[in-house]
A and B are shown apart, each in its own frame.
Chain A
Amino acid sequence: MKTTIKIIGGLLLILSSNLNAQNAQEIVKKAIHASYYQGENFKTKVNMTIIDKLGRRRNRNITMLRRDDSEKDDTQKYYVYFTKPADVRKMVFLAWKNIDRGDDRWLYLPAMDLVKRIAASDERTSFAGSHFFYEDVSGRNFDEDTHELVEQDEKYYVIKSIPKKPNKVEFSYMKNWVDKETFIPMKAEFFGANGTVYRTYSVLDTAVVDGFTTVIDSQMEDNLTGSKTVLNYHTIKYNTDLPENIFTERFLRRPPLKLLLQL
């Protein structure tokens, strides 16, 4: 009898952890979709404020275009046009996001009319001098971590993600607080080898735009120094007319200003 109970108990445990695991995978996939794949395409202006530990600010203003290659949540293209400050003005950053290998990235430097191909293998380096990594902006691939549902309350699923290749990243694991209704990760904490949080992402505000719940204010903080970057998204538009050829060399050299600057 006791053995039977043990077996049933064990089975239940396996079953529930399995359900749990499955559940975690689902949640993460939905969270990735809510963060990076809503709509067929997306256009936004972003004001980036980089605040150092002494409170000094630097600002970057960009317009970002995103276009998905298909309805599957996989490859997509990004076009980032810089408007401020002056030293990066009119620069264009183009990325073709890949799943099975590193992204293809280009940078256009208008003063030299130079289309430079960026040899960046590390996706966890600062995006445009901010506290956000390139990967925070373009999305981390689902398969790079194992995901586990460790906690939940009325509002959030708490997912713990452990990198499969720990030597490729600077965190030993991260925790994401995923909103149960919208599946938008509202907070993320990155843990170092010593088990303490050294980097925190938080959503400060969301809004419903064209029917999609969208992050409009977010922040990435370096907990060790207190420095941080605040992103404010505005003039957001989903499913606008965004031809595929925008994401080619032609429009690096001649940015589609009407599309980029109209309000």
Chain B
Amino acid sequence: MKKIIFIGLSILTTIGAYTQNNVLDATDKASIIQDEQKGKEPLLDINGYFEGRIGFRVQNDQNQNYTSISEFRLQLETEKELGPFMFNIVSDFVLDPITMEDAKDIYKVDLDTGEGLIDMRQANVVFSPFNFADVKIGRQILTWGTGDLIFINDLFAKDWKSFFIGRNDEYLKAPTDAAKVSIFSKILNIDVVYTPRFGADRFIDGGRISFYDRSLNDFRGEDNPISAEIPDTWFEDDEIAIRVYRSFGTYEGALYYYNGFWKSPAGQEIGTGRAIFPDLEAYGASFRGPIAKGIISLEGGYYKSAPGASNVASIRNDELRLLAGYEREIATELTFGIQYNLEHKLDYEAYVNGLPDWAIKDEEYRHITTLRLTKRLMQQNLKLSLFNYYSPSDEDGYLRLRASYKISDVAKIDGGSNFFYGNRNHTFFNQFNSNSNVYLGLRYEFN
């Protein structure tokens, strides 16, 4: 425990000391131009950063460490153009004393979960076989849809652990090993993403973040994480995601289709109690455009769960999901955004009938609202942000506060908190209540 804090703090201070020297490092304009105009490309252009990040739970959690995050991360990024092909690699190297303390083999590498020494973020090749088509093959980050930290038709892998413990926002998107083919025309654009082997979310299993397990009627933590049955047969347990989109002047419309699996556990295997990822098919649509000095987003999706899901209580129901959002600048450098999200269980009666009387039952309708406030100060070097999820139906919520300051062009410090609140143990956000945490990170970038 102390060891972890010690390592974390020494990392932070080392970086701090290093960056301090660079704060006043004035660069002469003329020399930059000269550098650029030399025009000689190095064989490999490497960019990246060092980062130290440490965080603590703000209350005692019997199932977890007091430290919520304590890691040292090095990201290296490079790209290389070879003929018509563009190769991209982004990889993180992570020293994480929290996992080191528990794991026997600290150098183990698990590219699916990103745990261990290496978290490969991207390794792909991009090319255009025709002037109307782009292809990207390999490990990549994928995002589409219109929600702000709410996802309906974006069924690409998410990393909820990173999101909850205070890594930078970009880590919410977990990488996917896929082939993406995009076709462009004046009438319609089409994206097809094929993932030959199912890529699950980096979901909450108790290992890093404890949660309330209804079947256990208790919390699960690092000593008792769920065991999951992740479909992993190449070309059999595969996924396909399609987006057809176009713009109508300034308005953007899209249709979506997905065929694969629930990305986080959505059921339990009867008998073993192992978490499963039932089949999922999704159809959706979205619209986005300017209205009343802001941006409005509308998105909907119909989730068709595994066949017979409504009769098996342990498998998630079919769902209808709707989202409406509006964002605008309400004062200088101050952005305000609100969203409303509905999750409607479509076969509620069957869901209720399938559960024993004593079991905890979700409501038929789950409502979630979000509020965003982002303020930029000091020539945009200081950014303050608040993002709050609140569910009136679950009477719980999740508040994310963050401040980040650019000390110089190469150094950035950020701090924030993740607060989970509510009344009942089993509701979605409040089940993470004892994981509420604060964190601090320091990053040094180079290129």
Interfacial residues, chain A to chain B (CB-CB below 8 A): 45, 47, 49-50, 52, 55-59, 61, 84-87, 89, 96, 101-102, 104, 109, 111-115, 117-122, 125-126, 128-131, 227, 230, 232, 234-235, 245, 248-250, 254, 257, 263
Picked from A45, A61, A86, A109, the residue with its CB within 8 Å of the CB of B47 is A86
Given contacts A84-B447, A85-B447, A86-B446, contact A104 B290 (CB under 8 A): yes
The 22 sampled A-B contact pairs (Cβ below 8 Å) are: A52-B379, A56-B26, A59-B409, A61-B32, A85-B447, A86-B48, A102-B290, A111-B141, A112-B172, A112-B173, A113-B173, A119-B290, A119-B328, A119-B335, A121-B294, A126-B380, A130-B379, A131-B379, A234-B33, A249-B247, A254-B126, A257-B81
B215 on interface, CB distance cutoff 8 Å: no
9 residue pairs, one from A and one from B, having the closest CB atoms: A86-B445, A111-B170, A129-B380, A85-B409, A119-B327, A121-B293, A119-B295, A113-B143, A86-B447
B233 within 8 A of A: no
Q: Out of A49, A245, A248, name the residue touching B29 (CB < 8 Å).
A: A49
Q: Is the CB of B29 within 8 A of A56?
A: no
Q: In the complex, are the beta carbons of A232 and B290 less than 8 A apart?
A: no
A245 touches B184 (CB 8 A): yes
Q: Of all chain A residues, which has the CB nearest B327? A: A119
Q: Are B26 and A45 in contact (CB under 8 A)?
A: no
A59 to B36, CA, bound (A): 13
Q: Are B335 and A85 in contact (CB under 8 A)?
A: no
Whether A47 pairs with B294 at a CB distance below 8 angstroms is: no
Q: Which B residues from 3 to 27 make CB contacts under 8 A with A?
A: 23-24, 26-27
Which of A47, A59, A85, A121 is in CB contact (< 8 Å) with B329? Answer: A121
**Most chain A beta carbons < 10 A, residue from B290, B294, B335, B406:** B290
CA distance A235 to B182 in the complex (A): 32
- Size band of the B side of the interface? 35 or more
In chain B, what residue has the closest Cβ to A57? B26
**B271 interfacial by beta-carbon distance below 8 Å:** no
- Residue of B86, B250, B335, B381 ringed by the most chain A CB atoms within 10 A: B250
Closest chain B residue to A170, Cβ basis: B332
Q: Shortest beta-carbon distance, B374 to chain A, in Å?
A: 10
Q: Choose one: B23, B189, B410; the contact of A85 (CB below 8 Å).
A: B410
Query: Which positions 275-311 of chain B face chain A at CB distance < 8 Å?
Result: 288, 290, 293-295
Cα separation A250 to B126 with both chains bound (whole Å): 13
Q: How many A-B residue pairs have CB under 8 A?
A: 122
Q: Which residue of B37, B169, B288, B406 is within 8 Å of A112 (Cβ)?
A: B169
**Complex: A85 Cα to B410 Cα, angstroms:** 7
Contact A122 B47 (CB under 8 A): no
Q: Of A55, A84, A131, which is in contact with the most chain B CB atoms at under 10 Å from its CB?
A: A84
Given contacts A104-B250, A129-B380, contact A58 B408 (CB under 8 A): yes
| The residue from A55, A230, A250, A257 contacting B134, defined by CB atoms under 8 A apart | A250
Whether, in the assembled complex, B39 has its beta carbon less than 8 Å from a beta carbon of chain A, the answer is yes
Q: Are B410 and A86 closer than 8 Å at their CB atoms?
A: yes
Are B189 and A125 in contact (CB-based, < 8 A)?
no
Q: Is the CB of B447 within 8 A of A250?
A: no
Q: Is the CB of B134 within 8 A of A254?
A: yes
The docked-state distance in angstroms from the alpha carbon of A59 to that of B250 is 33
Q: Would you call B182 and A59 a contact (CB within 8 A)?
A: no
In the bound complex, what is the Cα–Cα distance between A26 and B410 (angstroms)? 46
B142 at the interface (CB under 8 A from A): yes
- Find the A residue at minimum CB distance from B141: A113
Q: How far is the CA of A235 from the CA of B38 in the complex (A)?
A: 12
Chain A CB within 8 A of B264 CB: no
Q: Is the CB of A96 within 8 A of B250?
A: yes
CB distance from A100 to the nearest CB of B (A): 12
**CA A113 to CA B290, docked complex, whole Å:** 22
Q: How far is the CA of A230 from the CA of B30 in the complex (A)?
A: 12
Asked if residues A50 and B328 are in contact (CB atoms below 8 Å), the reply is no
Tell whether B337 is near chain A: CB-to-CB under 8 Å.
yes
| Contact across chains for A50 and B379 when beta carbons are under 8 A apart | yes
The reply to whether A112 and B134 contact each other, CB–CB distance below 8 Å, is no
CA distance A5 to B98 in the complex (A): 94
> Are B141 and A263 closer than 8 Å at their CB atoms?
no
Q: Which chain B residues lie closer than 8 Å to A117 at the CB level?
A: 252, 288, 295
CA distance A117 to B136 in the complex (A): 23
Q: Does B412 contact A (CB under 8 A)?
A: yes
Chain B, 410-447, contact with A by CB distance < 8 Å: what is the 0/1 string? 10100000000000000000000000000000000111
Contact of A126 among B23, B143, B379 (CB under 8 A): B379
Q: Is B219 close to A, CB under 8 A?
A: no
Q: Are B170 and A112 in contact (CB under 8 A)?
A: yes
- Are B141 and A89 closer than 8 Å at their CB atoms? no
Task: Report the separation of the CA atoms of residues A228 and B184 in the bound assembly, to the nearest whole angstrom.
Answer: 43
Give the docked Cα–Cα distance between A52 and B406 (Å).
13
In the complex, chain A residues whose CB is within 8 Å of the CB of B36: 45, 47, 61, 234
Taking CB atoms, residues of chain A closer than 8 Å to B327 are 119
- Please determine whether B29 and A230 come into contact, CB atoms closer than 8 angstroms: yes
B348-360 Cβ-contact flags toward A at 8 Å (1 or 0): 0000000000000
C-alpha spacing A109/B327, complex, angstroms = 18
CB of B93 within 8 Å of the partner chain: no
Report how far A125 CA is from B380 CA in the complex, Å.
10
